[in-house]
C-alpha cells in the first residue's frame, strides 16, 4: 500500500528511529509520544485493523506482542512496568489504518486509560 505511512516506514521510504526489526515486524519510536517511552510495533504485512486480521495472522499478531515485550526490555522499562495498546477503528482511537501496537512506559500509567 503506497499511501500507508506505516507501509512506507516498513519499506524504508520514510525514516524512523528504529528500535527492533525482524522478518515480520518493525518497532520504532512514536513521533507523537504520550509517555516518556512510547514505541510502535507494526507488522510488515499491511492489515488495516484488528478486525481485518484472519486466523492465518495468529503468528504475526504473536510476533507483535513478543516484539513489544522486547522493546520494553531494550529501552529499560520492562521491570518497572509498561502498557501495550492496540486501538481498533475510529472510536477505539485508531488514526493510522495499519495495525500497530503501542508500547508505553517510563511513568506510572493510571487506570482507566481514558
And the C-alpha cell for 55?
486466523
pLDDT for 54: 97
Nearest to 67, CA basis, from 43, 87, 50: 43
Region 54-65: mean pLDDT is 98
User: The pTM is what?
Assistant: 0.95
Judge whether 100 counts as a catalytic residue.
yes
Region 12-23: mean pLDDT is 97
* Distance set, CA 47 to CA 5, 44, 52, 66, 71 (Å): 13, 9, 6, 18, 21
Nearest to 50, CA basis, from 12, 107, 108, 101: 101
DSSP string, 50-82: GGG--GGGHHHHHHHHHHHHHHHHHTT-TTT-E
pLDDT at residue 112 above 90? no
User: In this structure, is the dihedral angle defined by the CA atoms of residues 32, 113, 64 and 67, taken in order, positive or negative?
Assistant: positive
Domains and CATH numbers, the chain: 5-105 (3.30.428.10)
pLDDT for 114: 61
pLDDT at residue 1 above 80? no
- Which residue out of 29, 37, 46, 100 is catalytically annotated? 100
Amino acid at each position: 500500500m503506497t499511501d500507508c505511512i506505516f507501509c512506507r516506514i516498513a519499506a524504508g521510504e520514510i525514516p524512523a528511529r528504529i528500535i527492533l526489526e525482524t522478518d515480520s515486524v518493525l518497532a520504532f519510536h512514536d513521533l507523537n509520544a504520550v509517555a516518556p517511552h512510547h514505541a510502535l510495533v507494526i507488522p510488515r504485512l499491511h492489515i488495516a485493523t484488528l478486525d481485518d486480521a484472519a486466523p492465518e495472522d495468529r503468528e504475526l499478531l504473536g510476533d507483535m506482542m513478543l516484539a513489544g515485550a522486547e522493546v520494553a526490555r531494550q529501552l529499560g522499562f520492562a521491570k518497572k512496568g509498561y502498557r501495550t495498546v492496540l486501538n481498533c477503528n475510529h472510536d477505539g482511537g485508531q488514526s493510522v489504518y495499519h495495525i500497530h501496537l503501542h508500547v508505553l512506559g517510563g511513568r506510572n500509567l493510571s487506570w482507566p486509560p481514558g
